[in-house]
Amino acid sequence: MEYEVLEYRVEQSVAVVTLNRPPYNPLNSQIFMELVHVLETIEDDDQVRAVILTGKGDKAFAAGADVHEMKGLDRKGIAKMARLARAAFNSMELLSKPIIGAVNGLALGGGCELALACDLRICSEHAKFALPELKLGIIPGAGGTQRLPRIIGQARAKEMILFGETVDARKAYEIGLVNKTLPMEELYASSMEWALKLAENPPIAMQAFKRSINTGMNVDLESALLIEDAHSTIAFLSEDRKEGMTAFSEKRKPNFVGR
């Protein structure tokens, strides 16, 4: 498929997906549809073990939803756009492979929600995050009210949404919104370094771990432990588990193949 608003390439075992609507990479229906498609492509590619998601240029990861598209929509149209956004973000969480959000600038509104759907977030020192929807008479409706409190806690999430104020890179790291912050010129290399390390992990165990956390966060502890047990069993019965333990005993690097 030829992508109109995304760039997609594979480097070694890492898929690199870039939002390509510079300078601010606003999110529109086309981006959401292309994200779903590229994630399906990544899921089916056994050579890909990890993903980097970033924005084109150095100004923005994604500076919110495309207001030019939104302002012309009626209730039915905005509901459809919201469904497309949820489908894209849910696809990110359901992807069996880890996604690193390389936040290269502004991550506002829907752009912040997009970052929240990543498994890990690394940002440049000039990155800024905000969920300013209340000031427009709406709420963060693409997962922001649900994913943000699960990541940074309910009190901080309410503060961030109620005031709609911008959070800079340093504050984002302090409150646990991002895993690492560093100079812009180091962002891609650091993201790739992490992605290549993740790519060395056994695919089945990676999928089991990711689904255990993402599913378990939405249920009570007893149910979550049952989910963990089920995924733990799947990982234990894999050929990769046998290879990992054999390699450990033989003091060599394991060769995981995803079976």
Please report, for residues 56, 98, 189, the alpha-carbon distance to residue 19 in angstroms, rounded to integers and kept in the order given.
Answer: 6, 18, 18
Task: Determine which one of 4, 11, 40, 133 is catalytic.
Answer: 133
Q: What share of the chain is helix, strand, coil (3-state, %, to 5)?
A: 50, 15, 30
**Residue (of 39, 50, 10, 51) closest to 199 by Cα position:** 50
Tokens 């870039």 label which residue?
A: 18
Q: Is 174 a catalytic residue?
A: no
Task: Determine which one of 7, 40, 93, 113 is catalytic.
Answer: 113
Secondary structure letter of residue 21 according to DSSP = S
First to last CA, the chain: 28
Q: Is 222 a catalytic residue?
A: no
Tokens 């020192």 label which residue?
A: 125
**Residue (of 101, 73, 89) closest to 32 by Cα position:** 89
Q: In what order do the strands lie in the sheet with 128-130?
A: 60-63, 106-108, 128-130, 167-168
Please give the Cα distance from 243 to 167 (Å, whole number): 44
Cis peptide before 149 (omega within 30 of 0): no
In this structure, what are the phi and psi dihedrals at residue 190, rounded to the nearest 5 degrees?
A: -65, -40
89 and 143 in contact (C-beta within 8 Å)? yes
HSE, side-chain direction, 13 A CA sphere, residue 120: 18
Task: State the catalytic residues.
Answer: 113, 133
